[in-house]
Chains A and B, each alone.
Chain A
């Protein structure tokens, strides 16, 4: 019997474009189990990033409800939503989004500034996270002194450092060569298998999707069965 981590019920999302309202999702239902490693594929503009933003509490639905561990998160106040993100979600971006002025260790430490941990505890945790992604020897380096793959590993360390249940990755390997991409994907797989992290990863790359336990295809705001094609 598996536990449900996130549930989307009848989620609507529309963007305003001037006076017009452009619908992305009309009614989207989705359930993500704890411990899942989900790949989401689909053509450009199908709403993959929008979905990820809704899951992570970065954006709000225009209708329906989103629950996380049974708690509504779609109607939280701005600051509670921020606290929800800080406590439960780790983000991995296509372009790493590291702070250029900070060292790898300082970048990883950032999310811990939102916790009540003291400086010493924060530094230790950050060091542990860097160790997990195999970058202990690059702790003092600035992002500009790291390769793309290394930067993404720092970003992964940052995403896991505060031990969130859910990790959201938008095209985490979109900017990397095949070999580096596979390293990153193996790492995500490991976080899923060994650390029990629930991962939702958006990707255009069918090979990347194979690292996930399950792949969902999004098209024009709906999940479609594509098993025969993939």
Chain B
């Protein structure tokens, strides 16, 4: 007998070539599916970028200590004595100078103005000492230089420069009744530090009247396991009263949940919208089948089976939906990919992160589009396959 693939191919190509005749309804379906895909991918890319920022910020071999019960860096206070005590804990790595890698840091919040909206946002202004970089990885000055201790100079995270105005290299900013000069821009490997301003801690303590107190202590551990030793030491030493956790756990508790929120909002919203797009696709495909009813019936009368008609209609639906998926993905890519977004961290400061589209996400979007196409094509394709032959004889 004849090759069924030849028949399917012939009917399918006929079907696809007749698409321009149904241009507007077909285009409407493509657009509807594109919208759904774009919404889904927008949310997923947001969640993805956020996740990347979070996991880029935390490592397991750095411990962070704040005052017991404080929910973030902002409302923690530690005295110089406490700082000196914790530095004696076991399990803390030592720098090239033989001193423990312990960085007491000050953390205040200053105002910034968003470039995009002109709205105010809270920016973390961190005072750091000589040990700060020993407790951080992947910090590189990409423009200018590091601040000079004792001078009113600031280095600024590159995410912050992009998002907020007035912090460009060479600019002077007025913070805490002092004029500061921006002398460098740093890259922090995409971590949340890229949303911060850094200056000499001693200067910051005096400008903001903090005496010799710090807010957080960062400690480089000899290994991730050493965390337990530091925690045990802190518990035993009654003068300390600190919450000690790994950096990863610290940032996850600060900002975790937001990426879940984006994820759990994105999918349901996309699925809800999918029903709209599905209704549109069904409508388009039923209209397509109805407009081809006589052709289909004629083919059946000639002796064609129902399968080619079914496949032709399915192919049409999948092509429209697949096209919609690609248009949606490309639109999201062109509009958002690499764009920075900001969200509130737990300490009411901004975390700047990039919206990241990945091949895996695009695949999810295209799969959703094809599912819409499949369901939207299936039932009309059944109608096509069951077309009454007698329709060939009617006017």
- Give A residues with C-beta under 8 Å from B: 49, 52-53, 56, 58-59, 79, 82-83, 85-87, 91, 93-95, 97, 99-102, 110-111, 113-116, 158, 170
Contact = CB atoms under 8 A, between A and B. Distances in A.
A101 B18 contact: yes
A101 to B, nearest CB: 4
B7 interface: yes
A114 B14 contact: no
Contacts, number: 74
B16 to A, nearest CB: 9
Interface in B292-312: 294-295, 298-305
Given A49-B393, A59-B390, A110-B302, A97 B2 contact: no
B303 A116 contact: no
Given A53-B389, A97-B298, 5 more contacts: A53-B390, A82-B305, A99-B295, A99-B299, A113-B304
Contacts of A97: 294-295, 298, 392
Contact of B389 (A58, A100, A101, A114): A58
A85 B301 contact: yes
27 contacts: A49-B393, A52-B393, A53-B390, A58-B301, A58-B389, A58-B390, A58-B392, A59-B390, A82-B300, A82-B305, A83-B1, A85-B301, A86-B302, A93-B393, A95-B294, A99-B298, A100-B295, A101-B14, A101-B17, A102-B14, A111-B302, A113-B2, A113-B10, A114-B7, A116-B3, A158-B302, A170-B393
A208 to B, nearest CB: 18
B6 interface: yes
B395 interface: yes
B305 A91 contact: no
Contacts of A49: 393
Nearest to A119: B6
Nearest to A102: B14
Contacts of A86: 302-304
Contacts of A56: 301
A59 to B, nearest CB: 7
Interface of B: 1-3, 6-7, 10, 14, 17-18, 21, 294-295, 298-305, 389-390, 392-393, 395
Nearest to A96: B298
A51 B364 CA distance: 54
Given A97-B295, A99-B14, A85 B302 contact: yes
Nearest to A97: B298
A82 B303 contact: yes
A59 B302 CA distance: 13
Nearest to A174: B395
A215 to B, nearest CB: 21
Contacts of B305: 79, 82
B13 to A, nearest CB: 8
Contact of B303 (A59, A94, A111): A111
Instruction: State the 9 A-B residue pairs at the shortest beta-carbon distance, nearest first.
Output: A86-B303, A97-B298, A101-B17, A85-B303, A101-B18, A58-B389, A114-B2, A82-B303, A114-B303
B303 A87 contact: yes
A147 B21 CA distance: 21
A48 to B, nearest CB: 10
Nearest to A95: B395
Given A82-B304, A83-B303, A101-B18, A53 B393 contact: yes
B307 to A, nearest CB: 10
A145 B395 CA distance: 20
A5 to B, nearest CB: 18
Contacts of A115: 2
Contact of A114 (B294, B302, B393): B302
Contacts of B17: 101
Contacts of A94: 393, 395
Nearest to A86: B303
B295 A59 contact: no
B302 A100 contact: no
Contacts of A87: 303
Contacts of A53: 389-390, 393
A224 to B, nearest CB: 23
Contacts of A100: 18, 21, 295
A187 B392 CA distance: 23
A110 B14 CA distance: 11
Contacts of B299: 99, 110
Nearest to B297: A97
